[in-house]
Amino acid sequence: MSFVKLSASALAIAAVSATAAAARDQVQVAGSSTVLPYASIVAEAFGENFDFPTPVVESGGSSAGLKRFCEGVGENTIDVANASRKIKDKEIKACAENGVTDIIEVRIGYDGIVFASDIAGNSYEFTPDDWFLALSDKVMVDGQLADNPNVTWADVNPNFPAVDIQAFIPGTKHGTREVFEDKVILAGCEHTGAFDALLATAEGDSDKAKKKAAEKACIALRTDGKSVDIDGDYTETLARIESNKDGIGVFGLAFYENNTDKLQVATMSDIVPSTESIATGEYPVSRPLFFYVKKAHIGVIPGLKEYAEFFVADEIAGPDGPLAEYGLVSDPELSDTQGAVADEAVLGGNS
Amino acid sequence: MSDISQNGAPKRTGSLLSKDARTAKRNRAESRFKLYGILAIAVGLLMLVTLVYNIVSRGTGAFTQTFVTLEVTLSEDKLDKKGNRNLDEIKKVSTFGYAPLIKDAIGKEVEKLGIQTDLPAKKQAAILSKSAAAQLRDYVIANPDKIGDTVEFRFLTNSRVDGYMKDRVSRDSIANDKSISPAQLDFVDQLVAEGVIVKSFNLDFIFGADASDQRPEAAGIGVSMIGSLFMMLVVLVLALPIGVAASIYLEEFAPKNWITDVIEVNISNLAAVPSIVYGILGLAVFINYMHLPMSAPLVGGLVLTLMTLPTIIISTRASLKAVPPSIRDAALGVGASKMQSVFHHVLPLAAPGILTGTIIGLAQALGETAPLLLIGMVGFIASNAPDSVAGGLLSPNSAMPAQIYEWAKRADPAFYERAWGGIIILLIFLVTMNTVAVILRRRFERRW
């Protein structure tokens, strides 16, 4: 019967492929969806210009990428993790527990985070204070900490239109969220005096612990639906804004620049975000982008070191390269990074 | 049930030809019910039409693309300085080294046609796709003897120019756009008038590989189509024999006891398990334990096999059950063994049902993305066409639904159009498979 033959051949194929498990010959990358466009541009150019196969780049968020990165050493784990924030001590520890000890950190440049509303909607000129007052769980009311009473943007700042607060911010698995908390919410918290009030009531054994507790309380956002966490990508935020013209979303600069026909960008502390204002440091909400390489995989996975070096080469990540053209703010210290990659300098500095 | 049976038939008065009130009421109820049915179908059809209209109107743009035809001089002093045609040395010139050739070519074209423009040369060249340099380099490496000649090339324009030709981009919409200026659009208009820029059918969308965020105009669904094909092959080769063998044993040979009951309940349960669970299982078993490569269609196929098995087993058992016992009895009666009765009589009669179930199971697997997320098949995977075929089941590849999902996420609106175009191609596959299933059933099905 043909079924007998079919099943026999099927079993044969399964047996062969299970034992084959041939050596992987392409670089495997995963991580931040903010870094993904840059990484895919580099991967494509790498595949075109080298005899190595085009690396595979997956997204999923910085935390998810670093988690997979730290799963261990070997061909069935990824070689490179993209991240829109620095790796945390906790993650380095988790890595070490799984045998991933030598990690090469590569900073590729800077990226701006912009606040944008629908092109047909209202325009805004924000300061970090506005965002803190709009989204924080507790704010100062008449010198006392109280539940956030603000309902419309006009409650936050009389210069703003009286439309309901509706913000679409990145979810916690995105590195962008952390920058938003650090550079915007925390800054507003400190500036409006809420930080001091929180510090006075914070619990902790030492000053440091108290400060940490107060900072944590600062970045607690309201949960009454005015602030919506977006766990997907910027396209989801864009879709939310298109269906809700009063909504304001948090985007990466490169995403905004590709969608200028649908979005208008808000200024932050009177500075219009652009690669120039971010490079000079005038625009406050920016963050470095990184990728992390497993040193143990260099020499095992063909093309891994070449990929890392190619990524930070002048013709790619330099001010006139394709990454800058797409929206990356190139790193003024790029030549140091190039040297570090060439030397395979690992985190912690030993070896 | 019926009204009449409740307290005897009501006395009927008057002519049979004129309806009494009760009959009229029942007739009205029936016509109302018919109307509801028609309305339900109409709503369904309306939704289908809206869906198809949306998909087709948004997706057809992906099948045409804007091209520029230019004559490029492959100058020797840029590409092969030593002039010895050594391939390794030619390969050292990266795609960045080819950009000036394109700039010169477009400058020459402008001069030849006598186009008046103030646009600087760099901005003129910027209307071309970034894939142009790679296209040139691939050509030169394939034909090193052409260095020094002037060759005619057909390049893609960038996604903004393409959008302008497709009315997606207008001078208003690019007011804040940094990647293109109104002056460049004027220049495009001049080139269109001269016939240098034309819009034509784009075969590369159907057969090409994915492209990075900077060049949506070059992205194609072909490589992921091959990935899907490989996966379906694995599913067919594994799920069909395993599923059919399991169902024949369960249906014809297995004793009816609590063990087979437990198995039966579990098979029905597995059919309802969310597909992402199979992805997690695939990651744990096939990649972490068996060390199969990540992003490989083989692993995707194995995961989808697990997902499709319950569907195939359930439909196979149903079609085996539908074969009347008299056939088995007759076979046994003339001296056939149990196995002969199954393979010579029952199985051929059940084959149309099994095939239909398998095709529907495959169609379901073809449209599945979630399990692929965890085994690394969703992302930027752009193996070039010959490699992806030669690498077969083990080289990294994507799948059609994964590719569509990936495009829908990207920043450039041109990718959005391609996502819809990809949906059209995927739908064509699904409709074809389901039609084949229906035709097979119609032609071979037997009723008793």
**8 A C-beta contact, residue B382 and residue A47:** yes
Per-residue pLDDT, A21: 42
Is the pLDDT at B1 greater than 70, yes or no? no
Instruction: List the alpha helices (DSSP H) in chain A.
Output: 2-20, 36-49, 62-69, 89-97, 128-135, 153-156, 175-179, 186-192, 194-201, 207-218, 234-243, 253-258, 275-279, 304-311, 314-317, 322-326, 334-343
pLDDT at res. A1: 44
Q: Are A96 and A156 in contact (CB under 8 A)?
A: no
CA atoms within 13 A on the CB side of B3: 5
- Confidence at residue B373, expressed as pLDDT on a 0 to 100 scale: 87
More confidently predicted of B43 and B283: B43
Facing A59 at nearest CB: one of B234, B347, B379: B379
pLDDT of residue A18: 44
Residue A28 near residue B376, CB atoms below 8 Å: yes
Neighbours of A111 (CB within 10 A): 26
Restricting to B residues 187-216, those with a Cβ less than 8 Å away from any Cβ of A are: 211-215
User: How many A-B residue pairs are in contact by the CB < 8 A criterion?
Assistant: 157
User: Given an 8 Å threshold on Cβ–Cβ distance, is A258 in contact with B244?
Assistant: no
pLDDT band at B291; cut points 50, 70, 90: confident
Return the residue of B nearest to A256 by Cα: B411
Position B8 confidence tier, pLDDT thresholds 50, 70, 90: low
Q: How far apart are CA A62 and CA A291, in angstroms?
A: 10
CA distance A298 to chain B (A): 18
Handedness of CA B284, B286, B288, B294 (dihedral sign): negative
B279 alpha carbon, distance to own chain's centre: 19
Shortest CA gap B25–chain A (Å): 47
pLDDT in tens, B201-233: 988 899 888 888 888 999 999 888 888 999 999
A299 — alpha (psi -120 to 50), left (phi > 0) or beta?
A: left
pLDDT band per the 50, 70, 90 thresholds, residue B88: confident
- Residue B181 CA: distances (Å) to CA of A204, B66, B195: 57, 18, 21
Closest Cα to residue B221, out of B434, B409, B407? B407
What is the architecture, at CATH level 2, of domain A23-111+287-343? 3-Layer(aba) Sandwich (3.40)
Q: What are phi and psi of B198, to 5 degrees?
A: -135, 155
Positions of chain A with pLDDT lower than 50, given as ranges: 1, 15-21, 350-351
Alpha-helical regions (H) of B143-181 = 159-165
Give CA–CA dist A6/A14, Å, rounded.
12
Give A28→chain B minimum CA distance, Å: 8
Give the whole-angstrom CA distance, residue B234 versus residue B161.
41
Cβ–Cβ below 8 Å for A9 and B237: yes
- The 10 Å Cβ neighbour count of residue B284 is 12
pLDDT of residue B304: 94
Q: What are A216's two structure tokens?
A: 């944590």
Interface subset of B 241-270, CB within 8 angstroms of A: 241-242, 244-245
Could you give the C-alpha distances from A144 to A127, A177, A213, B37, B201, in angstroms and in order?
A: 22, 27, 18, 63, 67
Do residue A58 and residue B378 have CB atoms under 8 angstroms apart?
A: yes
Question: Between B179, B242, B409, which is nearest A235 by CB?
Answer: B409
Cα nearest neighbour of A54 on chain B: B383
On whether any CB of chain A is under 8 Å from the CB of B122, the answer is no
The single-letter code of the amino acid at A329 is V
Angle of helix B258-271 versus helix B297-321 axis, rounded to 10: 120
> Taking the alpha carbons of B418, B423, B429, B435 in that order, is the dihedral positive or negative?
negative
Boundaries of every domain in chain B: 66-201, 222-444
- What distance in Å separates the CA atoms of residue A349 and residue A104, rounded to the nearest whole number? 10
The domain ranges of chain A are: 23-111+287-343, 112-286
Chain B residues inside the 8 Å CB shell of A302: none
Mutation to test the B interface, candidates A1, A28, A49, most B Cβ within 10 Å: A49
pLDDT of residue B401: 93
Distance from CA of B394 to the nearest CA of A (A): 8
**Greater confidence, B249 or A7?**
B249
Distance CA(B174)–CA(B171), nearest Å, equals: 6
Enumerate long-range contacts of B137-145, CB under 8 Å, 24 or more apart.
B137/A48, B137/A49, B137/B93, B137/B94, B137/B95, B137/B98, B138/A48, B140/B74, B140/B79, B140/B90, B140/B98, B141/B87, B141/B90, B141/B91, B144/B80, B144/B85, B144/B87, B144/B90, B145/B85
Using a CB-CB cut-off of 8 Å, the residues of chain A touching B138 are 48
Of A28, A54, A75, the CB nearest to B376: A28
Q: How far is B100 from chain A (nearest CA, A)?
A: 14
Return the bridge partners of A29, or none.
A57, A80
Q: How far is CA A30 from CA A71, B14, B235, B245, in A?
A: 13, 84, 27, 40
CB count, 10 Å around CB of B145? 8
Chain B neighbors of A15, CB-CB under 8 A: none
Selected residue of B90, B171, B214, B407 to mutate for chain A interface (largest A Cβ count, 10 A):
B214
Verify whether the Cβ–Cβ distance B295 to A28 is below 8 Å: yes
Q: Using CA of residue A48, residue A49, residue A50, residue A51, what is the dihedral sign?
A: positive
- What is the per-residue pLDDT for A13? 52
Report the run of H or E that residue A167 belongs to, with start and end: strand A167-170
Query: Could you identify the residue written with the tokens 């389901």?
Result: B434
Q: A21–B137: do the CB atoms touch at under 8 Å?
A: no
Nearest to A48 among B95, B173, B244 (CB): B95
Asked if residues A151 and A296 have their Cβ atoms less than 8 Å apart, the reply is no
CA–CA distance, B346 with B212 (Å, rounded to integer) = 53
Give me the mean pLDDT over the B109-119 stretch.
87
Tokens of A175: 């590195």
Least CA distance to B233: which residue of chain A?
A10
Residue A117 per-residue DSSP state: E
User: Residue B96: its chain A contacts at CB < 8 A?
Assistant: 315
**Torsion sign (Cα): B242, B246, B249, B255:** positive
- Cβ contact A235–B380 (<8 Å): no
Given the structure tokens 């920043």, which residue do they identify? B411
pLDDT value of residue B9? 58
Residues 6+ apart with CB under 8 A from B18: none
- CB B413 to CB A259 under 8 A? yes
Query: A255 to chain B: nearest residue by CA?
Result: B411
The answer to whether A268 and A129 are in contact (CB under 8 A) is: no
Tell me the nearest-neighbour CA distance from B349 into chain A, angstroms. Answer: 15
* Opening angle at CA B392, ends A296 and B419, nearest 5: 90
Residue in B174, B291, B376 closest to A56 by CB? B376
Confidence at B12, pLDDT banded by 50, 70, 90 = low
Nearest to A7 among B91, B241, B298 (CB): B241
Cβ-based contacts of A325 with chain B (< 8 Å): 179, 214
pTM (2 d.p.)? 0.85
Average pLDDT (B144-171) is 89
C-beta separation of A3 from B242 below 8 A = no
Quick one: angle between helices B347-366 and B222-248, nearest 10? 140
- Report residue B262 as tokens: 């437990």
Which chain B residues are within 8 Å of A264, Cβ to Cβ?
176
Average pLDDT over residues B384-390: 58
What is the pLDDT at residue B432? 93
For A4, other C-beta atoms within 10 Å of its C-beta total 11
Q: Does A54 sit within 8 Å of B384, measured CB to CB?
A: yes
Q: Is the model's pLDDT at B303 over the cut of 90? A: yes
**Domain A112-286, what architecture?**
3-Layer(aba) Sandwich (3.40)
- What is the pLDDT averaged over residues B17-38? 91
- Give yes or no for a contact between B426 and B367, defined as CB atoms under 8 angstroms apart: yes
Average pLDDT rounded to a whole number, residues B29-48: 97
CA dist B304 and B310 (Å) reads 11
Domain pair A23-111+287-343 / A112-286, same fold: yes
CA–CA gap between residue A112 and residue A251 (Å, rounded):
9
The mean pLDDT of B150-177, rounded to a whole number, is 88
Task: For an interface test with A, give the residue of B179, B213, B406 to mutate (most A CBs within 10 A).
Answer: B213
pLDDT band, very low/low/confident/very high, at B50 (cuts 50, 70, 90): very high
Q: Please enumerate, as own/partner, the contacts of B401-405 that have beta carbons within 8 Å and a separation of 24 or more.
A: B401/B366, B401/B367, B401/B368, B401/B369, B401/B372, B401/B426, B402/B224, B402/B369, B402/B372, B402/B373, B402/B377, B402/B378, B403/B210, B403/B221, B403/B224, B405/B369, B405/B378
Q: Which residues of A touch B136 (CB under 8 A)?
A: none
Query: Phi first, then psi: what are they for B60, rounded to 5°?
Result: -65, -30
Spatial separation of the C-alpha atoms in residues A229 and A217, rounded to whole Å? 18
Task: Please indicate whether, in this complex, the C-beta atoms of B245 and A1 are within 8 angstroms of each other.
Answer: no
The CATH code for residues B222-444 is 1.10.3720.10
User: Chain A partners of B211 at a C-beta cutoff of 8 Å?
Assistant: 44
CA B448, CA B123: separation in Å to the nearest integer? 75
Sign of CA dihedral A55, A59, A65, A71: negative
For residue B178, pLDDT over 50 is answered with yes
